[in-house]
Amino acid sequence: MRVAMIGTGYVGLVSGACFADFGHDVVCVDRDAAKIGALNAGQIPIYEPGLDALVATNAKAGRLTFTRDLAGAVGKAEAVFIAVGTPSRRGDGHADLTYVFDAAREIAAALKGFTVVVTKSTVPVGTGDEVERVMRETRSDAEFAVVSNPEFLREGAAIQDFKHPDRIVVGTDDARAKAVMEALYRPLHINRGPLMFTGRRTAELIKYAANAFLATKITFINEIADLAEKVGADVQEIARGIGLDNRIGSKFLHAGPGYGGSCFPKDTVALIKTGQDHDAPLRIVETVAAVNDARKRGMAKKVSAALGGDLRGRTVAVLGLTFKPNTDDMREAPSLPLIAALRDMGAAVRAYDPAGMEQARPLLGGDVTYCKDAYDCASGASALVIVTEWEQFRALDFARLKQVMARPVLVDLRNVYRAGDVAAQGFTYESVGRPKR
């Protein structure tokens, strides 16, 4: 099938490359001339394992191309995906749909024959109705169906998630649109990818509800971790004990410094605003968002406590800046408020991340020393803090760390290590939600 993907950000680029790998003819469109030029030169603007090879293979085969010519791409397409950004709107937290509606107008003007227009961007309930209205106003004679097809891709595992999905949610009541969507995803049938058809508004709400529920699980286990520390219990064993109940499940029950990234923070806020607008307040989600925001900055108190409550004149080494491993995404990363709080407490901060340092620099400013590896980062530090659980940080040489650090103190905000193992190396060890040694 012929597909146009509007937007070459994380969702658009991964989705476009995967559809091309299925054998479809995909044209990815973006207004940014520099980005299109880079993609045509084989340069990938985001860090996602395996994406560079996937793009290169399908570009070489001629199934994946990149252009600024939206009209040309849309005019030849049977399905057009809107995969543009929907950031939080400044001032009120609602999703900013400016890019979505701009794309809808341009698409409408370029349509030739019946086309399925698919909203892949994360959008509030009712956006599909507005997209359809905008397109009808722009081009009353156009033949099209607007479909919701939310993405459920985890950064760092996006290709695997696209090709082996838990579910594919498609929101439409149009028979012709259903046939097109079935054809697009038919290559997944061998993997038994479950294609779930719903109403358009239901599909839109499924995406927000899923992210809010996962954010709630994370926040729940983080609060249980705080209680576990007070009473001398182990949150990892608690998580296993409740996660073995298949009504609960073990995923997203890992205590840490709070959730971040491109989805959970903005989507929980957007869902809260939608509830308020429709007189159906979501009190649980409101609390989740507030607790998570406070937690990320509050992690600095744990670092301070490990050093006797005073960080003035101390150097703190931070390992991991991105919100999760295997991505360079710094959006709403817990490291940002943590480092800000450490600096407010008087600490000097050294930092290292395998992929995210260039993205971190403009967000953290010039008061942070960026290092070449974990041991360079630890040099002269009174405490080493693991913020992101990159694989490179899971087998550190503690003897080497002890030689270069001012004090052997490890604050493990991801519970990567066992307390006894670290203590045996002569380190003071602090973790999240586990008994103190």
Write the pLDDT tens digit of every residue in 344-368: 999 999 999 999 999 999 999 889 9
The CATH number given to whatever domain includes residue 418 is 3.40.50.720
194 with 45, same domain?
Answer: yes
d(CA 195, CA 122) in angstroms, rounded, equals 18
187 with 43, same domain?
Answer: yes
Q: Is the pLDDT of residue 437 over 70?
A: no
d(CA 227, CA 230) in angstroms, rounded, equals 5
d(CA 319, CA 227) in angstroms, rounded, equals 26
Instruction: With respect to residue 288, please indicate whether it lies within any of the assigned structural domains.
Output: no
- Residue-level pLDDT at 164: 92
Instruction: With respect to residue 208, please indicate whether it lies within any of the assigned structural domains.
Output: no
Instruction: With respect to residue 261, please indicate whether it lies within any of the assigned structural domains.
Output: no
User: pLDDT-derived band of residue 298, with 50, 70 and 90 as boundaries?
Assistant: very high
Distance between start and end Cα atoms, the chain: 61
Among the candidates 198, 220, 244, a domain finishes at 198
Domain that holds residue 322: 293-430
Instruction: With respect to residue 211, please indicate whether it lies within any of the assigned structural domains.
Output: no
Among the candidates 153, 180, 198, a domain finishes at 198
Instruction: With respect to residue 258, please indicate whether it lies within any of the assigned structural domains.
Output: no
185 with 324, same domain?
Answer: no
d(CA 11, CA 99) in angstroms, rounded, equals 14
Instruction: With respect to residue 354, please indicate whether it lies within any of the assigned structural domains.
Output: yes
DSSP, residue by residue, 79-91: EEEE----PBPTT
User: pLDDT-derived band of residue 189, with 50, 70 and 90 as boundaries?
Assistant: confident
d(CA 357, CA 69) in angstroms, rounded, equals 33
Query: Could you tell me if 16 and 26 are in contact, meaning their C-beta atoms sit under 8 angstroms apart?
Result: yes
22 with 169, same domain?
Answer: yes
- Residue-level pLDDT at 191: 62
Write the pLDDT tens digit of every residue in 202-228: 999 999 999 999 999 999 999 999 999
d(CA 331, CA 363) in angstroms, rounded, equals 10
d(CA 316, CA 379) in angstroms, rounded, equals 10
Alpha helices in 150-282 (DSSP H): 158-163, 175-185, 200-231, 235-243, 264-277
DSSP, residue by residue, 283-342: HHHHHHHHHHHHHHHHHHHHHHHHTTT--TT-EEEEE--SSSSS----TT-THHHHHHHH
Query: Could you tell me if 130 and 159 are in contact, meaning their C-beta atoms sit under 8 angstroms apart?
Result: no
CA 335 to chain centre: 15
Question: Going by C-beta distance under 8 Å and a sequence separation of 6 or more, which residues neighbour residue 398?
Answer: 408, 422, 425, 426, 427
- Residue-level pLDDT at 93: 79
Query: Active-site residue among 18, 28, 263, 377?
Result: 263
**CA neighbours within 13 Å on the CB side: how many for 142?**
26
Closest by CA position to 108, among listed 84, 86, 133: 133
Q: Cα–Cα distances in Å, from 54 out to 119, 138, 194, 209, 381?
A: 23, 36, 24, 31, 41
16 with 150, same domain?
Answer: yes
164 with 308, same domain?
Answer: no
Write the pLDDT tens digit of every residue in 230-260: 999 999 999 999 999 999 999 999 999 999 9
Instruction: With respect to residue 11, please indicate whether it lies within any of the assigned structural domains.
Output: yes
If one counts the domains in the chain, the total is 2
Q: Is the pLDDT of residue 340 over 70?
A: yes
181 with 322, same domain?
Answer: no
d(CA 55, CA 46) in angstroms, rounded, equals 12
For the chain, what percent of residues have pLDDT higher than 90?
95
58 with 163, same domain?
Answer: yes
User: pLDDT-derived band of residue 179, with 50, 70 and 90 as boundaries?
Assistant: very high
Q: Is the pLDDT of residue 192 over 80?
A: no
At 230, the amino acid letter reads K
Q: Which helix (H) or strand (E) holds 18?
A: helix 10-21
Instruction: With respect to residue 147, please indicate whether it lies within any of the assigned structural domains.
Output: yes
**In the chain, how long is the greatest CA-to-CA distance?**
75
Mean pLDDT of the chain: 96
Could you say which DSSP state residue 2 is in? E
d(CA 13, CA 162) in angstroms, rounded, equals 12
Among the candidates 150, 171, 198, a domain finishes at 198
Q: Assess whether 263 carries a catalytic annotation.
A: yes
